[in-house]
Amino acid sequence: MRSPSKRMKAMREAALKLGAVPLPVLDAVKALKGLEAGLPANIKRAKFDQSVEIAIRLGVDPKQADQIVRGSMVFPHGIGKSKRVLVFCQGANVEVANNAGAAFVGGKDLADQIKGGWLDFDVAIATPDMMGVVGPLGKVLGPRGLMPSPRAGTVTNDIATAVKEYKAGKVEFRVDAAGIVHCVVGKLSFGEQQLAENVEAFLKHIVAIKPNTSKGIYVRSIYLTATMMPSIAISA
């Protein structure tokens, strides 16, 4: 087994000094950003802008269909990444999709490319009248989280809005088998207030979509982390 790197050891030691007491959102953001800034001079810094992710353990049973927590949202300050959007559409919607900034627009031609193994895009959107073409792609797109869905807002007649939202960083999320929701909330280079507002917006959204069948404590724990950092507990 590979031993932890000097960087990770330093990060863990810094995190331990913070203690196990959950922090308010803004304080947690400040602590996370401080972990990188506080590394000893002999420890290498990350050479890329790390993604910041939130993990929320919920009091739901994902095995029950009526307790699955999922959805999508656009954050107040985006997530620091513009997505490559593919749109399945036809007729006048082709021009609409192109004008909105879609990277790829088409129909059966795109479906055939995907069947052949091409997946060089981040989000797939489709108009309802194209689902006959898109449906057979479920086995390819579904496991990768790319299958257009009415619930996620990626099967829609409002192509312009959908494309613009996803290009701006709209994200989708779904509770996993362990009852945890993971979601990217920005980049480490974001300002403290920007990250805090993104986190607070996501927490508010998660509470708003609480399943009616969920009993007891709904939000059980919240952690904030970055790509190459340990996590910081947030007070619920």
**For position 43, what pLDDT does the model report?**
64
Scan for tokens 């989000």, then name that residue: 123
Nearest to 51 by CA among 227, 204, 206: 227
Encode pLDDT of 74-96 as tens digits: 899 989 887 899 999 999 999 99
Confidence tier at 13 by pLDDT (50, 70, 90): low
> Comparing 151 with 114, which gets the higher pLDDT?
114
Confidence tier at 2 by pLDDT (50, 70, 90): very low
Vertex 210 angle, CA 135 and 29, to 5°:
100
Reduced 3-state DSSP string for 2-61: CCCCHHHHHHHHHHHHHCCCCECHHHHHHHHHHHHHCCCCCCCCCCCCCEEEEEEEECCC
Tokens matching residue 175? 């509770």
Query: Is pLDDT of 184 > 80?
Result: yes
What is the pTM assigned to this prediction? 0.75
**Pairing outcome for strands 123-126 and 85-88:** parallel
- Greatest mean pLDDT among 5-9, 10-14, 72-76 lies in 72-76
Residue 208 exposed, middle or buried by CB count within 10 Å (0-12, 13-18, 19+): exposed
**For position 201, what pLDDT does the model report?**
96
Could you tell me if 88 and 133 are in contact, meaning their C-beta atoms sit under 8 angstroms apart? Answer: yes
**For position 10, what pLDDT does the model report?**
66
Query: Is pLDDT of 45 > 90?
Result: no
Confidence tier at 218 by pLDDT (50, 70, 90): very high
Could you tell me what percent of the chain has a pLDDT over 90? Answer: 69
Domains of the chain (ranges, CATH numbers): 18-78+171-234 (3.30.190.20), 85-167 (3.40.50.790)
Could you tell me if 183 and 75 are in contact, meaning their C-beta atoms sit under 8 angstroms apart? Answer: no
Of the listed ranges 86-95, 103-112, 127-136, 143-152, the one predicted with least confidence: 143-152
Confidence tier at 128 by pLDDT (50, 70, 90): very high
Query: Is pLDDT of 6 > 90?
Result: no
Cα 198 to the center of its chain, rounded Å? 12
Alpha-carbon span 225 to 234, nearest angstrom: 11
**For position 138, what pLDDT does the model report?**
94
